[in-house]
Amino acid sequence: MSPAIESPVADPVEAFASALTPKVAVSYLRVSTRDQARRGGGDDEGFSIPAQRDANRRKAASMGAMIIKEFVDRGASARSANRPELQRMLEYLEDHDVDYVIVHKIDRLARNRADDVEIMKSLESSDVRLVSTTESIDQTPSGILLHGIMSSIAEFYSRNLAAEVAKGMSQKVRSGGTVGRAPLGYRNHRTVDPEGREMRTVIVDVERGPLVREAFTLYASGDWTVASLTDHLAGRGLTTAPSPRLPSKPVTEGHLHKILINPYYKGLTKYQGVHYPGRHEALVDEITWQRVQDVLATHLNGERTRKHPHFLKSTVYCGQCGERLMVQNSKSKTGTVYPYFYCTGRHAKRTKCTQRSVLIFEVEKKIEDHYRRIQLDPTLRAGIEALVREEFQLAQSRMEAVRADLKREKDKFERQREKLMEAHYAGAIPVDLLGREQERISRSLREIETRMAATSTEFETIERNLGRALDLAGDCGAAYEQAPDHIKRMFNQAFFEKIFVIQIDEGLADVRVDAQLREPFDVLLGPELRTASRAITPVPGTKEPAGTTANGLPSTTSRTPLQVQGLSNALMVEVRGFEPLTS
């Protein structure tokens, strides 16, 4: 009898022990927003997280697995894999023996196919299987196919939801609504109409609104700095609005500065760089808001509140070395205080400057004299205005042609978008191609909108501001002499880049000033226009028009002021007028 052949069956004891060993799993839970995590469930859980937890536990029990670790991302979007608990889970899987990762749905793990692929690679490298409680995901070909389909659907849902939200927000601001949380001084208000529909509006905060209005009124006077106004408002009780997470606290300088430059307080809402008229109540009128911006603009040169403030600081410079001049008060033996300007380059020994301190009173008088010397002659002012207005008409016609071209280009891309959606509905293009083409068209339309906004120059406003600048230049001497100090500061920053104070000799009172003009005053008040004006202005007592020779032939010096400069665009005043640029 031949010996029995040994059976290849594994050891029954080992197989039985392996069957009794439970499988190990971890559970991953996620909600997209903090509001979902808190809504109604208490303990920072809401309703969604406990529902996902119970479903994952039931799924683990049906598979004979035991959940040993749970990872929860509260208020984290799945459009990115950069989530703290997800990354902790992937690190945990590398260091521990785990059989399953259980999720409620695939979109809880990722709503981006690229992230889904990376996460699956990480799970496979750790020999871990992904399990969905609501979807039949496994390692079979049909399960892998279903996984890919569900991942694409999740990405499409995310992109489409983002587009719909952006469209809804855009429509909301167009109708005057407010997107997001109302700024300080206002409150988001929810009401329910008789039909049971929720109405969301913005109302003035009765506690903080009057203090914000007072902040604009006080700062517009020019007598306050942001720092001093912040301390004043803190003493009056202005605090930030409390939230479920953060208590209220006094406003800071940075917060107050953001308030002062926010156009929301004058009735405008801003969305994607565009301002829309809002339905909310304005806390400040347009004139006061603009005055605040003008006062803020006077502080753009890096000027800080110092011990000895003066309206010429940040404007006057040493005529010998070019360094900034600062204020110094010297007291005589009799107790009389004499304010001086001293050169910071000489004081700090950065330069070899030898210019001594000069009396501030003398510098002020020299600057007033300089304004009277540079102001425009009425005849020259009228000629310049007529020529520039003619140039404006030509520029406006050119701008309208450019806008027409941009409008045709915009219509072309909008037709492409319509055809793209028709092809998608007909099943002619896949979802991924649809997404790429939509992004390309949207990017092109945004660029066109930006270019159209750049061409929407308000020529009437420009002409009006040019007239104001010419009026100001025509009587700038008297206007400057009668203006208060904070307006004189604005005058100097509007007219001049720098004012150089030059000491003629050792005498403290013997000084002169030389100023570097800003645009457009460097053209309006420049020597070329004055020379041209004399060439084209009729000479009193003669019958020959200026610009002709004695025999009646055209003179070679007969050129208009604009021709002297080459292009009249140099004379154009920006929409902001002659004030310095604001932040």
Domains defined along the chain, listed by start: 12-162 (3.40.50.1390), 186-192+199-297 (3.90.1750.20), 378-474+519-571 (no CATH)
Dist. CA 211–CA 234, nearest whole Å: 10
In 136-251, at which residue ranges do the beta strands (DSSP E only) sit? 186-192, 198-204
Rounded (5°) CA angle 203-205-208: 150
pTM: 0.40
Residue 151 pLDDT: 72
Find out whether 434 and 392 touch, Cβ atoms under 8 Å: no
Q: In Å, how far are 227, 252, 306, 366, 493 from 257, measured between CA atoms?
A: 9, 9, 19, 35, 21
Residue 577 pLDDT: 45
Strand partners, 130: 101
Of 499, 492, 529, residue with least CA distance to 516: 499
Q: In Å, how far are 399, 401, 421, 447 from 413, measured between CA atoms?
A: 21, 19, 13, 11
Residue 581 pLDDT: 46
Residue 81 pLDDT: 66
Residue 321 pLDDT: 92
Residue 510 pLDDT: 79
Q: Respond yes or no on whether the N-terminal peptide bond of residue 538 is cis (omega within 30° of 0).
A: no
Dist. CA 338–CA 346, nearest whole Å: 20
- Cα 279 to chain centroid, rounded: 22
Dist. CA 4–CA 553, nearest whole Å: 134
pLDDT in tens, the chain (583 residues): 444 444 444 565 555 555 556 789 999 998 876 554 444 444 444 457 888 889 889 988 888 888 989 998 876 665 666 788 888 898 899 888 898 999 888 877 777 777 788 888 888 888 888 888 888 776 667 777 777 777 777 777 767 776 776 677 777 777 777 777 888 889 888 887 777 777 788 888 888 889 999 999 999 888 888 888 999 998 888 888 887 777 888 889 888 999 998 888 888 887 766 677 888 888 888 888 888 888 887 765 544 444 567 888 888 999 989 999 988 888 877 888 888 899 999 988 888 998 888 888 889 999 999 988 888 777 777 776 776 677 777 877 888 888 888 888 888 888 888 888 788 767 777 767 877 887 788 788 878 877 777 666 556 666 677 777 777 777 788 888 888 888 888 888 888 989 999 988 655 457 889 988 887 777 777 776 566 555 555 544 444 444 443 333 334 334 444 444 443 444 444 444 444 444 4
